[in-house]
Amino acid sequence: MELTTIWFLLIAVLWTGYFVLEGFDFGVGILLPFLGRTPGERATVVKTIGPVWDGNEVWLLVAGGATFAAFPEWYATLFSGFYLPLFLILLALIVRGVALEYRNKSDSPKGWDRAFFWGSLGPALLWGVAFANIVRGVPLDAAHEYTGNLFTLLNPFALLGGVATLLLFTLHGAVFLALRTTGELRERATRAARTLAPLTVLVVLGFLVAARSGTVSWAAVAVAAAGMAVALVATLRGRDGWAFTGSALGIAAFVATLFTSMWPNVMPALDPANSLTVTNAASGPYTLTVMTWVAAICTPVVLGYQAWTYWVFRKRLTGAN
């Protein structure tokens, strides 16, 4: 396999890791005001992601860093072109991170919980908007500079993508909370998952069918559908572990649909001649070789200790705590 292909796949994997892991963090933040009715319950809801959210967020940093190293042109065009949406995402992530760390250290967690909610909802929506635009193609000039503005990015298709990720992550969060809590909290989370699932399936599949292109992506769409169906059925039967596996699979297939549809572009332009591809956006073969070794050695180790962390904190948390 060509190195550029490997790195295209690796970056897809990093985004998958980010969305599967931070996806439920976002969902937990969005559901917090609805599911946690007492201060104790809210503390428990936050505690479900307490030990892991920061490690989850690193997937984003590594996705960003890997894009910089492997596809500098992509990194440069994407980050400067999506300037204001990324600024909003950054502000949201800052506010959310501080809220998570400080809510229990402050006299009243109320304001922090509001910040946590908005700081989760914003990125959950905006990542979908960003990826919908990437897949659909944006105006780029011959120098690969983005020539649109903020409102170019806020087209109906992109907003649909935003709603899709928002729903998908919220559902994922509900399923995660059902898996990680007991008693009333778990019941409420299950109820939320049941209520959200049909609409999520509809919107996500609608978006993916509109976004996809090429034959391989059909397989990914099918897996996404299957994953969400498993999440729903397993939730109805009280099989929380399977439900979580299903929604995680749904998110992975969501990312796979987008990436298989883009290939071999990494950032299609409205004028195809100006598109960024795995070839014209890539670093030299030497850098890609070095980074392949680094990734091959480090990624399994990281996966190992992150998985171990989830194992250590596998015990369900009770509402009263």
Partner 1 sequence: MDVLDLSRWQFGITTVYHFLFVPLTIGLSVVVAGLQTAWYRTKKPEYLRLTKFWGRLFLINFAMGVVTGIVQEFQFGMNWSDYSRFVGDVFGAPLAMEGLVAFFLESTFLGLWIFGWDKLSPRLHLATIWLAAIGTSLSAYFILAANSWMQHPVGYRVVNGRAELTDIWAVLTNSTTLVTFPHVLFGAFLTAGAFVLGISAWFLLRGRDVAVFRTSARLALVVGLVAGIGASFSGHWQAQIMTEQQPMKMAAAEALWEDETSAGFSLFAIGDVENGRNHVNVQIPYGLSFLATNTFDGKVQGINDIQARYEAAYGPGDYRPVVGLAYWSFRLMIGFGGLSALLALAGLWLTRRGRLPSGRWCYRIAIAGIALPFVANSLGWIFTEMGRQPWTVFGLMSTASAVSPGVDVTEVAITLVGFTLVYAVLAFIEVRLLLKYIKLGAEERSEPESPVPALSY
Among the residue ranges 145-153, 166-174, 231-239, 244-252, the one whose residues contact partner 1 (CB under 8 A): 145-153
Q: Does residue 270 belong to the site contacting partner 1 (CB under 8 A)?
A: no
Angle at 56 between CA 50 and CA 62, to 5 degrees: 150
In this chain, which of 33, 86, 155, 182 binds partner 1, going by CB under 8 A? Answer: 86
Q: Which of 223, 229, 233, 302 binds partner 1 (CB under 8 A)?
A: 302
Q: Check binding of 321 to partner 1 (CB under 8 A).
A: yes
Stretch that binds partner 1, among 214-222, 223-231, 241-249, 293-301 (CB under 8 A): 293-301
- Whether residue 204 contacts residue 254, with contact meaning beta carbons closer than 8 Å, is answered with yes
Tell me which of 79, 157, 218, 242 binds partner 1, using CB under 8 A: 79
Interacting positions 225-264 with partner 1 (CB under 8 A)? none
Q: Please select the residue that binds partner 1; options are 33, 34, 98, 225, rule is CB under 8 A.
A: 98
Q: Confirm or reject binding of residue 298 to partner 1 (CB under 8 A).
A: yes
Report, in Å, the least distance between residue 32 CB and partner 1: 13
* Identity of the residue, 73 or 240, whose beta carbon is nearer to partner 1 in the bound complex: 73
CB atoms within 10 A of CB 249: 18
Kindly state the helix (H) or strand (E) to which residue 277 belongs, with its residue range: strand 276-277
Note whether 271 binds partner 1 by CB under 8 A.
no
Instruction: Please state, in angstroms and rounded to a whole number, the distance separating the CA atoms of residues 6 and 234.
Output: 34
Query: Looking at beta carbons, which pairs linking 136-140 to residues 24 or more positions away fall under 8 Å?
Result: 136/211, 136/268, 137/268, 137/269, 137/270, 137/275, 138/81, 138/267, 138/268, 138/269, 138/270, 139/269, 139/270, 139/271, 140/77, 140/81, 140/267, 140/269, 140/270, 140/271, 140/274, 140/275, 140/276
Residue with tokens 């987008």: 258
3-state DSSP assignment of residue 50: coil
Can you read off the two tokens belonging to residue 117?
């909610």
User: Using the rule CB under 8 A, is 180 a contact of partner 1?
Assistant: no
Residue from 16, 29, 30, 73 touching partner 1 (CB under 8 A): that is 73
* CB closer to partner 1 out of 72 and 137: 72
CA distances to 180, 238, 240 from 175, in Å: 9, 10, 7
Shortest CB 302 distance to partner 1, Å? 5
Q: Any idea which residue has 């919908």 for tokens?
A: 132
Check if the beta carbon of residue 227 is closer than 8 Å to that of residue 253: yes
Question: Any residues with CB less than 8 A from the CB of 117 and at least 6 apart, and which?
Answer: 29, 30, 32, 33
Asked if 72 touches partner 1 (CB under 8 A), the answer is yes
100 touches partner 1 (CB under 8 A): yes
The residue from 33, 97, 137, 183 that contacts partner 1 (CB under 8 A) is 97
| Residue with smaller CB distance to partner 1, 209 or 296 | 296
**Chosen residue from 5, 104, 195, 279 binding partner 1 by CB under 8 A:** 104
Q: Kindly state the number of chain residues that form the binding site for partner 1, as judged by CB under 8 A.
A: 74
Choose between 157 and 313: whose C-beta lies nearer to partner 1: 313
Q: Which H/E stretch holds residue 212?
A: none
Q: Please report how close the Cβ of residue 175 comes to partner 1 at its closest, in angstroms.
A: 21
Residue that is written with structure tokens 């969005």 in the block = 30
Residue among 20, 21, 32, 60 that touches partner 1 (CB under 8 A): 60
